[in-house]
Structure 1
């Protein structure tokens, strides 16, 4: 499901970013037209290791110039070929989405990488706009050229809005989900209980950058951390170098879903959050809004006959990870384990991949930003390869294992296909719940 996952994750990136734009009174992510100037510039404030700054981009930047003629021509050809695949494929929906994602990404599963190339790579090549550096004509790539820095540039989202548009166009060629596709016979979501308002705030966070700062160590130092990377020292003693930044976070919250079932059975619970109003304060109906729902949680439950009281804390939501244990902390624990009776603990709760826990919900507004949570309970469809059966999730993300998935339904179900009749979602096992997100302007934990 490599291609499907590629499209789904970028759709979710766009949905989460859209919620953040609404928090700042901005609207839809702008489209990227290679033949018109791009309105939004970007100054990353990033520097390479030797001190050279990342290239900046001015407002109203024109990407269609002589150096980009060939990539732009390749973009046109690949876009036409992908559109032809979308309009002519006779595969069932799941297979078609899988093939489309592989073709666009140009990964190893693409069934004809020479013909379809990599639209993803061509897009990045066009908007990279690096600048010459050094006496040998080296080119410094911009932030978009690095996968680890590209999401800070607004143009990243415009690029993937164009890419994901092929996914939505493909979905138009298949029937929308009908009430019988969404209904779970014998199961009803009776109520949802959660705070009327969720709270976000900015907090200071200190990142340990000791191993990045290039300093000379003193060979006569007796400090036990003398061999710890590029360790900073003063008068023979090590000290830690930290960088402080302000980060978005939120207060944890509980969600309680009361579900009745006519029998004992296995089910899946999904939780999404989506906009209630657009940037102008106008209510947005599901028909025009389904693409903007961001998946928060997705887990399996064993329903019993009668009432089921399902309680979930936001800290337990799937897909999210806490801050990593720093390298310095790990190094110190290893030293303690070697020099004392201290036993190094294996933290089985520290995931290896996922979205930062603190970015789960958008910033919201001081007076509250209305959003709608979506809850759905549906039958569990066992995946072809049981989850976690081919890898140890404690030590690996399981990429390529084929056993990372909770169920066999398409990623993003039930919003993965166009919604043309929002009343189809008026089934007993579905519930929308309105909440406001309040942003507390006071920055916490200031030292």
Structure 2
């Protein structure tokens, strides 16, 4: 699915900061890269420091650095921003143990300052000592966010693999009954978590649908509560944090505004296909006059025992602040007027054109309200304002009395059905802007001399299988109660059934009068009988894959398997196993491979297809082969794709066409169908366990 933050999107896809030296040298054999000893020690440090994050640090080797930060001005690249952190921290930071959300003004201000403090540490020695200090002296949630962000954006840390967020902080991914059952087992059985048989250390997990059989939304809780899908969204919002921008991070080089729109459009399309396959109505439209939000009980608990806030049903949403509704309407009107006018004039008289194909980037930045917005003071952050209104809270609310719901965490937003209404509201601006661009002409769609003759596709099958997540990090470890045992001997697993699909292949036969490079795009969406229907249904088409193909004159037979699909990544290695692999590599017992097969920026392969039906879920696959439109900066030329997802590199993408091409504009009924396109009706079948054996 086109969801590698489209990091991958666009196949296939300057640097963050020249002041940081590259990561440790690695060895390479046959194109495979392996970590060296220096890199492995850095990798071990992060796994050590993040372990049992809600407990005091217990490793003697790090404790000397926990009492104070490095204050030497010469140890920082930009001491001005570091000094601001020193000053802000002395005034008072969010205490440890308190609920943290990046979607609160005060929490974000402190997190941003902490990030710049770590990011500006000039070398590894300064950085890692400051990380140890922060581990012991700042709020746990804030620490996790800032450290992860610094690892992503510091060049000297590219390739470092951090524990996946649902294992690092399981409280926001697994329902309270799972945590409770594990706590009880641990309390009454001292060996629980230490058994050699993995199953004896496992807790079977439920989705919220078990506790609400009358809730229609519960039918797809296996999808909305999938830990991999929620982690995907969290990492996208982390990597492209709204407060980062400008030349320092270069996120605008990645077409971040367009990416914001397209990533959310794809998430809504994927969700809509799952709803349709479960016979649920389309996502309801959101009207600010009387917002209708579904009742939602996340059944999650924070580390401190407080439940994540629920939302009761009602005829109209209660406005936490009555003035919010008018503010939202005002900023909404400003954006609409700028789109309809086709330009925006800045306070200095500069005129910004909003009628070009590339203008989608400016519109996306405006709606998100990120640091690269062309006029933040005028447009503010529509996305944030509306999210806060739907969360029924105040962005500027102080920590005392702050009780976040699911919409106020990137980790949990996609569990809430109201979130998809929020996406739809934001995408209204995207489609409004696109409506002013002319439909693609026949020449813009056609690939002269190229024709897709046939497509043979394997049977599409989905099923559920068990998945084990290591949730040990959410439980205290007491060395006195477990003498002679290491925290790395202790593992508790949450076992859940997750959606998966059987790998499939296809063979496409193409004739060509052209020799050279082409780009194949593959989409999946609703069936239609007349091309006019695609005008509406295009919004529900999902990009599954995109790749280069070298065409020769004559017949070309293209074969591809889902294991090659570019956007998808496999299940993550568990926290404990990752640590053990690093230790074995340090000892020389094995090599530690550096690759992105489990990248944080990839969409879970197991969620490639929506769940099928026993009788078949009827959908359509759509292929188009286009000429290669080279990007301004050659792909991968400014970063190492084996160790980084390339945020801010400007060279993530292999093609310069708009995201979602050719379904991103109005459909020209008389010119849309060309020979280099191919539509094929397919059915997805769902098998139960015994049918798969």
With the length of structure 2 as denominator, give the TM-score of the two structures.
0.59
Partners of 2:595 and 2:677 in 1: CA distance: 36
Structure 1 window deviating more from structure 2 (175-184 vs 403-412): it is 175-184
Question: Quick check: which one's helix share is greater?
Answer: 2
Residues 1:159 and 2:412 aligned together: no
**Structure 2 residue aligned with 1:309, among 557, 567, 577?**
557
Partner of 2:330: 77
Sort the Cα spacing of 1:128 and 1:61 in 2 relative to 1 into closer, same or farther, 3 A. Answer: farther
For 2:526, the equivalent position in structure 1 comes to 275
More strand by share: 1
Instruction: Work out whether 1:435 is the aligned partner of 2:688.
Output: no
Aligned to 2:434: 171
Quote how far apart the aligned CAs of 1:128 are: 1.2
Aligned residue number for residue 20 of structure 1: 274
Is residue 263 from structure 1 mapped to residue 514 from structure 2 by the alignment?
Answer: yes
The partner residue of 1:68 within 303, 321, 325 is: 321
Bigger mean CA deviation after superposition, 41-50 or 342-351:
342-351
Alpha carbons of 1:270 and 1:445: their partners in 2 closer, same or farther (altered >3 Å)?
closer
- Find the aligned partners of 1:401 and 1:285 in 2 and give their Cα distance: 39
Shift of the alpha carbon at 1:434? 0.8
Equivalent pair of 1:192/1:255 in contact (CA under 8 Å): yes
Whether 1:353 aligns to 2:615 is no
Partner of 1:322: 570
Whether 2:286 is the aligned partner of 1:32: answer yes
Q: 2:469 aligns with which of 178, 203, 207?
A: 207
- For 2:583 and 2:638, the matched residues in 1 are separated by 33
Q: What stretches of structure 1 of length at least 5 have no aligned partner?
A: 229-237
Mean Cα deviation higher: 311-320 or 52-61: 52-61
Alignment of 1:322-341 (within 5 A): 322-339=570-587, 341=589
Q: Identify the residue that residue 123 of structure 1 maps to in structure 2.
A: 386
Q: CA 1:148–1:220 in 2, change beyond 3 Å: closer, same or farther?
A: closer
In the TM superposition, what are the counterparts of 1:18-417 in structure 2 within 5 Å?
Answer: 18-60=272-314, 62-65=316-319, 67-90=320-343, 91=353, 92-129=355-392, 137-195=400-458, 197-218=459-480, 221-223=483-485, 226-228=486-488, 238-276=489-527, 285-339=533-587, 341-347=589-595, 349-417=597-665
Gaps of 5+ in 2: 1-254, 344-352
Greater relative contact order (CA < 8 Å, ≥ 6 in sequence): 2
Shift of 1:307: 1.1
Q: What is the CA-CA distance between 1:338 and the residue it aligns to?
A: 3.5
Deviation at 1:42, TM superposition (A): 1.1
SS of 1:56's equivalent? coil
Give the deviation of 1:425 after TM superposition: 2.8
Query: Partner of 1:416: helix, strand, or coil?
Result: coil
In the TM superposition, residue 384 of structure 1 has moved relative to its aligned partner by: 0.6
Q: Which moved more, 1:340-349 or 1:197-206?
A: 340-349
Q: 1:201 is paired with a residue of what secondary structure?
A: strand
Q: Distance in 1 between matches of 2:450 and 2:287?
A: 47
**Partner deviation per Cα, 1:361-415 (whole Å, 9 max, x = no partner):** 1112221111000000010000011111111111111111111112011000000
CA distance in 2, matches of 1:220, 1:253: 47
The TM-score with structure 1 as length reference comes to 0.90
1:49 Cα shift? 1.0
Alpha-carbon distance change, 2 to 117 in structure 1, aligned in 2, over 3 angstroms: same
Summarize deviations over 1:270-303 as a string: whole Å, max 9, x none. Answer: 000001169xxx9982122111111001111111
Partner Cα separation in structure 2 for residue 444 and residue 82 of structure 1 = 52
Count matched residues: 426
